Amino acid sequence: MSDPEELIKLAEKKAKPSSGFSSFFSGNSTYRFEEAADFYIQAANIYKIRRENLTAGKTFERAAEAQLKADSKDEAANTLIEAYKAYKLEAPGDAARCLSKAIEFFVLKGQFRRGANFKADLGELYENDLHDIKMAIASYEEAGEWYRGDSALALSNKCLLKAADLYCEDEIGDYLKAGGIYESIAKGSLNNNLARWSLKDYFLKAILCRLALNDYPSAAALLGRFVSWDSTFQTTREHEFAAKLIDSVKEGDSDGVANAAREYDQFSRLDILKVRLLNKIKSGIQDAPEALEDDLT
């Protein structure tokens, strides 16, 4: 196996500007930078085999820089993807930086479907590795819009639902935005046979988001609207659960919320998101009397 350091020296020599008589024999600069990029990529792959991921990532980046100097933006974008993969396990910040650059090139070339695929990956990187919820939301929403523009509605909904779930995180708490996304996706799924089975879950989440704001009148209005969209919803446990929650919030009964949740959980296991929303609903009820007293003073 070749020595990656020797390959890098060859790459640097190729990338070094030539002048005078020697430049006549060295070929045009585009070709020199292409050769330099090839040497960098060979070296990076050897580092990758050795599991020296940080060094591999840096070397892939140097290859991408050479490709850009050779005006090979497509190749540079692909090489930045390799840099992202190399960095991902050990340096997620560098991975996100390289992936963002690559996505820019894809979009400039009109490759929105490919850009959306990697934008979704970027959202996962921000969510799971960098724990930057705001950037994760922005990435998922943009990926969702690009997928929708490419008529990939299932993939679009998948990304937008991830964004909606993150809007419900305690540090964000934009329940109105989250509920709007659940409602919009539900409406767009009414005539989709593959997605119809998820309608009752979207309906319930949208209502939970309104109740998390202690807004039981709009939650009740949503409940009626969803029945008008899909009459079968009225026969589901989700409808029964939502109706009990609305009544409990209206009456300021936090125990009623807990009891309704306990009954529902016996038949349909509550996931982490719904538990988080239910806790927010309960705390909103408990805080309401104090907040009302404050408003009257």
Q: Lowest mean pLDDT of 19-28, 89-98, 231-240, name the range.
A: 19-28
What does the pLDDT read at residue 53?
97
For residue 195, name the pLDDT band (cuts at 50, 70, 90). Answer: confident
What does the pLDDT read at residue 16?
85
197-214 mean pLDDT: 97
Q: Domains in the chain, please, with CATH?
A: 1-109 (1.25.40.10)
117-132 mean pLDDT: 98
272-290 mean pLDDT: 86
For residue 21, name the pLDDT band (cuts at 50, 70, 90). Answer: very low
What does the pLDDT read at residue 291?
38
20-45 mean pLDDT: 79
Under 8 Å between Cβ of 37 and 69: no
Helices 53-69 & 4-15 angle (0-180, nearest 10)? 20
What does the pLDDT read at residue 276?
96
233-254 mean pLDDT: 97
Q: Is the full-model pTM beyond 0.85?
A: yes
Q: Lowest mean pLDDT of 5-14, 134-143, 158-167, name the range.
A: 5-14
Is 70 a residue whose pLDDT tops 80?
yes
Please enumerate in sequence order all residues whose Cβ is within 8 A of that of 125, keeping only pairs 6 or more positions apart, or say none.
Answer: 88, 92, 95, 96, 99
What does the pLDDT read at residue 29?
80
Please enumerate in sequence order all residues whose Cβ is within 8 A of that of 93, keeping only pairs 6 or more positions apart, or say none.
Answer: 130
What does the pLDDT read at residue 194?
81
